[in-house]
Amino acid sequence: MKHKRLLPPAYLFASLAIMALLHFFAPVATYIAFPYNLMGGISLVLGIILNLVADAAFKRYRTTVKPFEDSTTLVTDGVFRVSRHPMYLGMVLILLGIAIVMGSLTPLIVVVAFGIAMELVFVRTEEKMLADRFGEAWRRYKREVRKWI
């Protein structure tokens, strides 16, 4: 029986739940008060848009969006000109936006932990798979475009 791995959205939703628990049960301190905390909505919306645009690019090129599956195309245009991993960046922006809206310090810990988890669990493996699959095209792209931003 093949072991199923958790996909990034599962990490995102778990992170949201942990952020809510920390905010309501261990907020430590409020660092952004109302109405300034509503500025987190900008990051939240940008993160959602980034994910939708990157997902549309994968669909347009008919390649997989799922980690650990073999890509059929190296997508390098659109949002992929700015970040090699715009969907992970988008998820970090979503979490950051929600953390800002919450306004307490402890949810920010989850934002950082999520970014580290994406790097360790997904990004490193994906980049190795892309290097193996696309060779010099990948290495050129990697030299030209930053990993996150």
Task: Encode pLDDT of 92-131 as tens digits.
Answer: 999 999 999 999 999 999 999 999 999 999 999 999 999 9
pLDDT band at 44 (very low <50, low <70, confident <90, very high): very high
Rounded distance, CA 147 to CA 46, Å?
Answer: 18
- Mean residue pLDDT of the chain comes to 95
- Kindly report the pTM of this predicted structure: 0.94
Residue in the block written with tokens 């072991």: 3
Per-residue model confidence (pLDDT) at position 115? 98
Rounded distance, CA 12 to CA 101, Å?
Answer: 17
Q: What is the mean pLDDT of residues 46-70?
A: 96
